[in-house]
Structure 1
């Protein structure tokens, strides 16, 4: 039986289980140069990736767009690509949603997005500063506050206009996702959250499966380049290493394979062509039920991305269940 390479969205679209993640988490120099991500996207498409995950707040959509323009029509057709972008926290006001989406489309050089996610459930002050902070380092919130359901309604209009094929959320806990499922005219197709062997999110995964929501995992390798910073190192876990040795695979490939076998989409970030290729080589082996359970039992609820600068907001998601 062939190993699935896509997840079915409620829209009927097929979302590749593997995508290239972009953004500042991959390398700390992208704030001054986006050339590495331009090269990474081209390299990924050349070795078979058809899913690219980006966001306005990554400040790299123009670079991604350059790469896409070079590859679409030669190496690949637009219809065969799945492009995801995200609405940032400073764009939650309903009047800002359409312009934000149009800006991303322009920068990416596209007529439509396959998926557009609300990046975070908390609205920050409107404006062009991606991380607006006060003198104490706290996020400056939108005043008056904008609830994420008001933002969601504006995102639904993007589907109506044909600018996006599907909409979803990111960093939403179970109760927040259920609120959108209950009250949204269009149901969320995806919830993108941090997940790796030390942050399994089993409750969220079950709730999502029960409601036809696909889960995408960002940081699926636990950001190994920042291991000394956060101390979350699933790639160095002895049990992961042992399973990798058995299959003659790398620990990274095992962590990614564990996710896709759970039906979770993965968007590992890399700018290194060899790593980009390595991360794609996860569909030619299978983990046993016992190996899947062994990895799942490594859970420590160890979260890297916390948006702690707004942890006193009632919609801050990480006080709820995932």
Structure 2
């Protein structure tokens, strides 16, 4: 389909498969420098010599065990009191060693971003957060833009039909009357409108789909433009509609990020 940005993580449990796909694609003629690979885990599983972007997946440090992400009998993840700045300083050494081109964070609030920017040696290139028209992250975007940090939006179409959307009463973004009206006006799908809104805000989007037709559709965003009125109408849909609260994991941890408005 022409995609060149691959975003993965240990948590997604797909790095080895992505590594195999990259190996096959490189063997077919694509050059390594023509692909931008973001991960939050390992070079070994991906079979690469370097990462273009390496992210700290969450400001809370999880304990390791025999099982991936071990939980106690109350359903809480085992966490550690390791400060994220300790992790950040270790990541800076990976840049020095040439193992990663750039480093960044994920799910960090403004206060946590400020701490990394103030106390880190290398500025985060990216903060990857959940963002869609129901969760605009307007304050965070304004802050990061002023600091020269790029925002990447995961869940950019708010996981329509998912258990999370139902549990947190976010609603179906793709059926929102405002989104539907704008999509009809431009002859585009609601998903394309949501993705285009992010791009026009200078936000990187990483939509996920297992349907080839939708994977193709998600890339067809560059033959139309949302007007200022369109952008304003979508901006007003914000209702702090967060889907990914990590609530079973670590809400009591001192570094849980969602006590602060994004």
Q: Which runs of 4+ in 1 moved over 6 A?
A: none
Q: Distance in 2 between matches of 1:122 and 1:229?
A: 24
Conserved 8 A contact 2:40-2:55: yes
Q: CA deviation at 1:272?
A: 1.1
TM-score, length-scaled by structure 1: 0.78
Q: 2:60 aligns with which of 92, 103, 122?
A: 122
Q: Is 2:199 aligned against 1:289? A: no
Q: 2:17 aligns with which of 52, 60, 63?
A: 63
Q: Distance in 2 between matches of 1:209 and 1:175?
A: 15
Q: Distance in 2 between matches of 1:148 and 1:219?
A: 24
Q: CA deviation at 1:139?
A: 1.4
SS of 2:24's equivalent?
helix
Residue segments in structure 1 that go unaligned for 5+ positions in a row: 1-46, 88-103
SS of 2:217's equivalent?
helix
Q: CA deviation at 1:131?
A: 2.2
> What's the counterpart of residue 174 of structure 1?
110
Q: Is 2:235 aligned against 1:299? A: no
> What's the counterpart of residue 36 of structure 1?
none
> What's the counterpart of residue 148 of structure 1?
84
Conserved 8 A contact 1:220-1:266: yes
> What's the counterpart of residue 53 of structure 1?
7
Q: 1:238 aligns with which of 172, 177, 195?
A: 177
Conserved 8 A contact 2:198-2:204: yes
> What's the counterpart of residue 113 of structure 1?
51
TM-score, length-scaled by structure 2: 0.96
Q: How far does the alpha carbon of each residue in 1:162-183 deviate from its partner, in whole angstroms, 9 at most, with x for none? A: 1100000000000101110110
> What's the counterpart of residue 133 of structure 1?
71
SS of 1:280's equivalent?
coil
Q: Distance in 1 between matches of 2:17 and 2:202?
A: 30
> What's the counterpart of residue 132 of structure 2?
196
Q: Is 2:255 aligned against 1:315? A: yes
Q: Distance in 1 between matches of 2:159 and 2:146?
A: 29
Q: Distance in 2 between matches of 1:120 and 1:198?
A: 22
Q: Distance in 1 between matches of 2:29 and 2:201?
A: 30
> What's the counterpart of residue 82 of structure 1?
36
> What's the counterpart of residue 146 of structure 2?
210
Conserved 8 A contact 1:175-1:321: no
Q: CA deviation at 1:260?
A: 0.5
> What's the counterpart of residue 218 of structure 2?
279
SS of 2:51's equivalent?
coil
Q: How far does the alpha carbon of each residue in 1:249-299 deviate from its partner, in whole angstroms, 9 at most, with x for none? A: 000000000000000000001111111000000111100011001001000
Cα pair distance change 1:177/1:166, threshold 3 Å: same
Residue segments in structure 2 that go unaligned for 5+ positions in a row: none
Q: Distance in 2 between matches of 1:229 and 1:70?
A: 40
> Which one scores higher on RCO, CA 8 angstroms, separation ≥ 6?
1
